[in-house]
Structure 1
Amino acid sequence: MNRRALLGLALSGITVCSAPALAQTYPSKPIHIVVPYAAGGGTDTVARALGEKLSKRLGQPVVVENKAGASGIIGTDAVAKAAPDGYTLLVTITQTVLTNQFLFAKLPYDPRKDLSMVSVLADAQLVLVTNTSLPARTPRELGDYARTRPGKVSYASWGVGSYSHLSGAYFSKLARAESTHVPYKGEAPMLQDLLGGQVQFGFASILTARPYIQSGKLKALAVTGAQRSSALPELPTFAELGMGDSAFKTVGWIGMAAPVGVPPAVTAKLEEEVRAIMQTPGMQSRMAGLGLRPLGSTPAEAQAIFARDWPVLKMLVADSGAKLD
């Protein structure tokens, strides 16, 4: 065997042996989780709950940093450009790693090249709600109602390009209705106008809309996703009602990502710990209280979800005509 072959074998042995060693020594310093939104929101709450438990399990501080701005672009870009060593992580929603690619003409990062999914932590379904004055009892009846009143029916969302907007626009197109989109700065004012009848229908988060649904102040017609929501188990999915479009099966999610190039052993360590945390009764209860379905997927599963949702969100943004630049 020549010298080059021997050297190759030696280097290969170092690589193989270094992976488990790296997993054993990681982490050796504080981990930073970047949330690209302001403190106090759902994503921030999930990140802090996860960070607290990660810190206890890994024996190192886990610092949550809020780097808000530009629809999540600032914080996401900071992680995409960070060193790929497992010490800077991103906890974010679908928008920054998926939807923004279609809402903005240009981004400072490419999520497919610059970020690697570690886990989809939890997902969240939407519920189609209407003002109680509308006679519609099903999505199809609502579509018929809107189609026969062109320009007189409006749907609300919590912002241009939001999942709420994209779902409402798709529903309106599917019904061949000329409904008017009314965007709000947040879900609270959106629901207030739905209650008051200034707008007729909208897609809302289950957590926020549930009290109004249960009190009879809003009428709920169906939920998105592939299965019924445990928070509103009496409501059918769109698929159950014969509307099995991928747009209505797709749900928003909160995920963890890292810069591309993190050593596989470190990613595996993170995934193992995150999955264990998400399966604890305390975390399951916490997620349910936020209107989320806890998942804690593997990196491969997270990447599959990312790949599955990419064309759907691209289509939804194109159909809605939404742009944020």
Structure 2
Amino acid sequence: MHIFVGFPAGSSPDTIARLVAEPLAKALGQPVVVENRPGAGGVIAVQQMLARGSAGDSFGININGPLTTAQRLIPDLGYDPVTDIAPVGLIATSPLVLAVAAEFPADDLAAFIDAARAEPEAISYGSVGEGSGAHLTAELFADAAGVELFHIPFQSYAEVTTSILGGEIDSGFMAPSAALPQVEAGTMKMLGVTSAEPFAQVPDVPVMAGQAGLPEDFRAELWNAFIAPAGTDPAILDRLNTELNQILKDDEVRERLLAMGWQAQAGTPGDLAQRIGEDTALWGGVIDATQAAD
């Protein structure tokens, strides 16, 4: 059994895949090989998985992008996430946090929004690239808050963090785990988290939903999921979903996920299909608005 991962060894999706693969191999009584096929934000791994067909030995663990936004961002994607991919189940979700330097004059979300409204595009934010989850989340936030922020793309959260600390940019929407070391050191602060509920890794950071005029249903999450090619035997998909959910109940697995900034998220294939549909619509709207503004 092969699990294709769209990012290099040591990356968050790779670590999650290997965390799942070991107990899965024991449960199934067969080898589970994690194959890294990085490129195009995870898309190459999906294409590789689909190229092997639906014989029941080709699967993927990947982030949300290739299943929700890639069709809008990559014209020659070569697959349809709805018709060509069979959901197995969600694995874990992660929100983003709005992080600023410790000396930034706003100490809460309302003050940040007020400052942004006072001077459109005067406040800058960094993301990990055009079309990334961080970029789209910031644009979703800006639209919901009625503000205009200035976007500066980077290659990594490390670069975003360095630029915030160096005063080159004002803020960043980033993974809690990326900002947490600087927050603990007293050099950065988090003004809000994009999950619907408080996030266990940063329980004291207030959720953005319902704050400072934002909608009560405001939510933006990244996620990792287990997928298969469409046409894979439903009995195989059911078995994998059952074993996956059992793995995600394990306290050690849950703790290791949380330490990396991810919340274990068990569920059915239908739950994943629903999340793909909802997020495709959500982020598609953000992409359309961003492209229209450009």
Per the normalisation by structure 2, the TM-score is 0.94
Q: Deviations over 1:191-215 (max 9, x none)?
A: 1111111100111101111111222
- In structure 1, what residue type is equivalent to 2:133? Y
How many residues align structurally? 291
Work out the CA distance in 2 between the residues paired with 1:318 and 1:32.
36
- In structure 1, what residue type is equivalent to 2:192? A
Work out the CA distance in 2 between the residues paired with 1:245 and 1:162.
24
Percent identity over paired residues: 32
> Could you tell me how far 1:149 is from its partner in structure 2?
2.4
* Residue in 1 that maps onto 2:279: 309
Larger-gyration structure (1/2): 1
> Could you tell me how far 1:282 is from its partner in structure 2?
1.4
CA distance change for structure 1 residues 172 and 250 in 2, over 3 Å: closer, same or farther? closer
* Equivalent pair of 2:137/2:220 in contact (CA under 8 Å): no
* Residue in 2 that maps onto 1:244: 215
Unpaired runs of 5+ residues, structure 2, are none
Q: Which of residues 38, 56, 64 is equivalent to 1:68?
A: 38
CA distance change for structure 1 residues 224 and 175 in 2, over 3 Å: closer, same or farther? closer
Work out the CA distance in 2 between the residues paired with 1:151 and 1:265.
53
Per the normalisation by structure 1, the TM-score is 0.85
> Could you tell me how far 1:306 is from its partner in structure 2?
1.5
Unpaired runs of 5+ residues, structure 1, are 1-30
1:1-325 aligned within 5 A: 31-241=1-211, 242-244=213-215, 246=217, 248-321=218-291
Give 4+ residue runs of structure 1 displaced > 6 Å after superposition. none
> Could you tell me how far 1:245 is from its partner in structure 2?
6.0
Work out the CA distance in 1 between the residues paired with 2:216 and 2:154.
26
CA distance change for structure 1 residues 124 and 117 in 2, over 3 Å: closer, same or farther? same
* Residue in 2 that maps onto 1:16: none
Structure with greater proportional helix content? 1
* Equivalent pair of 1:227/1:237 in contact (CA under 8 Å): yes
* Residue in 2 that maps onto 1:5: none
Q: 84-93 or 146-155, which moves further after superposition?
A: 146-155
* Equivalent pair of 2:90/2:223 in contact (CA under 8 Å): yes
- In structure 2, what residue type is equivalent to 1:228? P
* Equivalent pair of 1:81/1:114 in contact (CA under 8 Å): no
* Equivalent pair of 1:144/1:175 in contact (CA under 8 Å): no
SS of equivalent to 1:83: coil
> Could you tell me how far 1:171 is from its partner in structure 2?
2.6
Work out the CA distance in 2 between the residues paired with 1:222 and 1:178.
18
* Equivalent pair of 1:81/1:259 in contact (CA under 8 Å): no
Work out the CA distance in 2 between the residues paired with 1:278 and 1:142.
37
Q: 144-153 or 92-101, which moves further after superposition?
A: 144-153
* Equivalent pair of 2:96/2:220 in contact (CA under 8 Å): no
- In structure 1, what residue type is equivalent to 2:68? L
